[in-house]
Amino acid sequence: MTGFDDSSQAMSLVAFSAVATVTLLLCVMTGPDSDDLDEFYTGYGSLSPMRNGLAIAGDYISAATVLGTGGVIALYGYDGVVLALSTALSLMLLMFLLAEPLRNAGRFTMGDALTRRTPGRAVRMTACVVTLAALLPLMLVQLAGTGQLLAFILGFSDDSLKTGCIIGLGALMISYAAIGGMKGTALIQILKIVMLLGSGAVVAVLILNRFDWNPGALFDTAAENSGVGSAFLGSGLEFAGGPHPRLDMITSQLAVVLGGACLPHVTMRMYTASSARQVRRSMSWAVSSVALFVLVITVVGFGATALIGREVIAGADPQGNTAYLLGSRAAFGEDVSTAETLLFTTVTTALFLTLLASVAGMILSCANSLAHDVFAARVHEMSERREMLLARLSALAVGVPAIILATLVQHHSLQPLVTLSFCLGASALAPALVYSLFWRRYTRTGLLCTLIGGSAVVLVLMPGTNLVSGSPAAAFPDADFNFFPFTTTGLVSVPAGFLLGWLGTVASGRRESEEQRKQYEAVEGWILAGAVRKGS
């Protein structure tokens, strides 16, 4: 049982239905013409910097971030705050280092950016495979979380109903991507981020008001109700069970900072800006929105522990994924008025919309890469109408397997999947982008070694981490095949990704490196300064 009254459950159900209907209608109304490929992939760059920045923030702040980060803050205190700050730092890294070169080098997809200087079908296909590998785990987390969230809010526990929610909402998310394209999904992201930050800010204000606007009192009360005392406000609590807690924490933050900035569903928003100045202004809005989210999630997470206790939060969900909802509910106190019920309904609706928008953006990114980098790249004279049809069919081809897999993993711990996505972003995509955009001698062989080798190291090490086996909170708690006693693969896989790219380039020989240097110098002005915006 959730402890939520019948009126809250009924209002939430009505709100969910209304949101699903309205957002689908928005996608239909703003969807591109049947033969307008540029509008489908980029929305013609028609969004203002503010709206594009909100859409970037919406893509970046996924449901896994809201629920997972809120849970880590509520259960582990200081470590959770560091995680939240790492998400903001990751977007700042994208803003200051990669945003403009990505916008200048790319056109529609990650494959476009990587083949700007090293063209070839192998690079495009590898980029597509890594895009799918990095985003599919996150999609499974969001889809599986849909059934769990609705069950928690609406008070049902039947597994068949949870599975039905996953299938139905998964179909809705595929429709968003296939019908709305970039502009339609951007509008949903904007609506999501406005509702999420607006409702969250009100809840944070209510929590601070409960503690007489004294953050110190909030933190001290949370520490008292955590069951671990002052350790709640110190570092290392989350990783205390491992053999190297400090090192584990550092590598986990490294994976978040590098991986979050380079995931394809976030970087694809760079291509929607019409100029370098527009992308800078868009990123300013995005970073500001994420910074506000960090403040909100910190207050709500600590408030949940302070008001209801760490034991209750862990009892509702061992990973703390319901902490944001429980903290929001506890902020109202014992006697809940109609206005507070409406506000809580807004909070649950914002989370519901976050789930919908997050998966829609990821499906769109995967579908775009599959259609543009694999199918269209094989046919030199493919018409725009045919490529758009392929992109829409690709959304179906990506979404259906994701729905099926989500129904199979919904009863397991989903944290390994989140970590897998960030590790792939940090170990394969981040080195590939940094080298491709800034290293003159980087060769095609080096790029393929980075993408393939970095991904392979992650996939080999991930099954041996603490999140998969060897602990009660692991995906397979009854098994123990732990051979890499860390929560992420970043300690080895991130340096390996950069090293393999360097080794592949060196092994290519001086002649190929010199040829790549000349090719890079020919496009350097376009990539770094945006002198010319060329197609792929």
Q: Tens of pLDDT along 213-234?
A: 999 999 999 999 998 888 899 8
Domain membership of residue 289 (yes or no) is yes
Task: For 104-167, give the DSSP string.
Answer: HH-SSSHHHHHTTTS--HHHHHHHHHHHHHHHHHHHHHHHHHHHHHHHHHHT---HHHHHHHHH
- In the DSSP assignment, the letter for residue 178 is I
Domain membership of residue 344 (yes or no) is yes
* Run of H or E including 371: none
Whether residue 88 contacts residue 290, with contact meaning beta carbons closer than 8 Å, is answered with yes
Domain membership of residue 429 (yes or no) is no
pLDDT at 130 (0 to 100): 96
Q: What are the beta bridge partners of residue 175? A: none
The domain of 320 spans 6-412
- In the DSSP assignment, the letter for residue 479 is -
Amino acid in the structure at residue 521: E
Encode pLDDT of 383-403 as tens digits.
Answer: 777 888 888 899 999 999 999
Q: For the chain, give percent helix, strand, coil, nearest 5.
A: 80, 0, 20
Cα(204)–Cα(409) distance, rounded to whole angstroms?
33
* Residue burial 231-267, b: 16+ Cβ < 10 Å; e: rest: bbbebebbbeebeebeebbebbbbbbbbbbbbbbbbb
Q: Is the pLDDT at 532 greater than 50, yes or no?
A: no
Burial class (CB in 10 A: 0-12, 13-18, 19+), 17: exposed
Chain mean position to CA 362: 8
Domain membership of residue 236 (yes or no) is yes
Highest mean pLDDT among 98-102, 153-157, 408-412 belongs to 98-102
Burial class (CB in 10 A: 0-12, 13-18, 19+), 503: middle
Burial class (CB in 10 A: 0-12, 13-18, 19+), 521: exposed
Count of alpha carbons within 13 angstroms of residue 421, beta-carbon side: 26
Question: Which positions ≥6 away from 466 have C-beta within 8 Å?
Answer: 241, 242, 474, 482, 485, 486, 487
Cα(61)–Cα(88) distance, rounded to whole angstroms?
10
Structure tokens at 10: 């009924």
Domain membership of residue 434 (yes or no) is no
Residue 33: pLDDT band (50, 70, 90) is low
Amino acid in the structure at residue 147: G
Q: Is the pLDDT at 124 greater than 50, yes or no?
A: yes
Structure tokens at 22: 């309205």
Place of tokens 């582990």: 76
Question: Which positions ≥6 away from 408 have C-beta within 8 Å?
Answer: none
Place of tokens 């800078």: 280
3-state secondary structure of 223: helix
Domain membership of residue 487 (yes or no) is no
Q: What is the mean pLDDT of the chain?
A: 86
Whether residue 42 contacts residue 34, with contact meaning beta carbons closer than 8 Å, is answered with no
pLDDT at 516 (0 to 100): 83
pLDDT at 527 (0 to 100): 79
Q: Is the pLDDT at 372 greater than 80, yes or no?
A: yes
Encode pLDDT of 418-440 as tens digits.
Answer: 999 999 999 999 999 999 999 88
Q: Is the Cα torsion angle 23, 24, 25, 28 positive or negative in sign?
A: positive
pLDDT at 302 (0 to 100): 96
Give me the number of domains the chain comprises: 1
Question: Where would I find the H helices in 31-93?
Answer: 37-42, 49-60, 63-64, 70-76, 78-93
Nearest to 191 by CA among 426, 421, 19, 365: 19
Residue 535: pLDDT band (50, 70, 90) is very low
Residue 4: pLDDT band (50, 70, 90) is low
Q: Is the Cα torsion angle 436, 95, 126, 465 positive or negative in sign?
A: positive
Whether residue 177 contacts residue 362, with contact meaning beta carbons closer than 8 Å, is answered with no
Cα(70)–Cα(197) distance, rounded to whole angstroms?
14
What is the model's pTM? 0.91
Domain membership of residue 335 (yes or no) is yes
Cα(16)–Cα(349) distance, rounded to whole angstroms?
6
What mean pLDDT is predicted for residues 441-448? 92
pLDDT at 337 (0 to 100): 67
Chain mean position to CA 266: 8
Whether residue 475 contacts residue 153, with contact meaning beta carbons closer than 8 Å, is answered with no
Chain mean position to CA 428: 16
Cα(377)–Cα(390) distance, rounded to whole angstroms?
12
What mean pLDDT is predicted for residues 106-128? 88
Name the residue with higher pLDDT: 377 or 3. 377
pLDDT at 215 (0 to 100): 92
pLDDT at 79 (0 to 100): 92
Encode pLDDT of 143-164 as tens digits.
Answer: 888 777 777 777 777 788 888 8
CATH number of the domain that 78 lies in?
A: 1.20.1730.10
Of the candidate ranges 35-44, 184-193, 194-203, 352-361, the one whose mean pLDDT is the lowest:
35-44
Q: How far apart are the first and last CA of the chain?
A: 54
What CA–CA distances, in Å, run from 3 to 72, 277, 325, 326? Answer: 22, 49, 11, 10
Domain membership of residue 417 (yes or no) is no
R_g over Cα of the chain: 23
Highest mean pLDDT among 224-238, 313-327, 487-501 belongs to 487-501
Cα(384)–Cα(388) distance, rounded to whole angstroms?
6
